[in-house]
Amino acid sequence: MLVYQFQHLGKNTIILPFLGILSVKSDMRQATLCFLLKDNQILLAMKKRAFGQGKWNGVGGKPNPNENIKDTAIRETEEEIKVTPKNIELMAVLDFHFKYKPEWDQQVLAYITTEWEGDPTETEEMKPQWFDLDKIPYNSMWTSDTLWLPLILKNKKVKGKVIFGENETIISKKVYEIQHF
Ligand code: 6OG
């Protein structure tokens, strides 16, 4: 089976030779993550409420209607930790599926930034904290973070798909490096 990507057909276009196009468009909603990096440290933030509550994560959220996703990444970082990123770079595009909670399905675009204005500040939604790169608290993060975060911290760009079963266990995973998006 051949899997191609055609911009005009959408993200998940599968073409079976002689059989035609099997599936065309991904309708997953999108969300962003932004990680601040300085020296040998990464800024994570404790999610204080709602989806992902109690986990350390990058900062982000969902686009407003008609909002460009990169603008979402910047706006959410401003809203959640009072920092304005100046140079964000897309490092990962990750499809997360929840077999028993399909309403949680989302495609997450993860960005890194090394330049910003403002000091990370706690808000009602997130409590930011710097971590040494060798002390990332993976035990208190989404379990799938170990699959892709170490790669983007080595400056690799990645795509991935993870399917979660019950209790956030991973029942299927595929993460691979790409040259560019
Ligand atoms: P709000 O519901 O807060 O946006 N997000 C994930 N982050 C990680 N590290 N792993 C996942 O795997 C994630 N799924 C979603 C994207 C949701 C926030 O949660 C992130 C957004 O920053 C399951 O508006």
- DSSP code at position 76: H
Burial label for 163, CB within 10 Å (0-12, 13-18, 19+), is middle
Backbone angles phi, psi at 147, to 5 degrees: -80, -30
Rounded Cα–Cα distance for residues 176 and 181 (Å): 12
**Ligand 1 binding pocket, CB closer than 6 Å:** 31-33, 50-52, 57, 60-62, 96, 106, 108, 142, 144-145
131 pLDDT higher than 50: yes
Instruction: Give me the residue spans of the domains in the chain.
Output: 4-178
Give the residue-averaged pLDDT of 8-17: 44
* Ranges of H-type helices in the chain: 69-81, 145-153
Q: From the CA of 107, how far away is ligand 1's center (Å)?
A: 9
Task: Please state, for a pLDDT cut of 70, what percent of the chain lies above it.
Answer: 86
pLDDT of residue 27: 78
- Given the candidates 3.20.20.140, 3.30.70.1450, 1.20.1430.10, 3.90.79.10, the CATH classification of the domain at 4-178 is 3.90.79.10
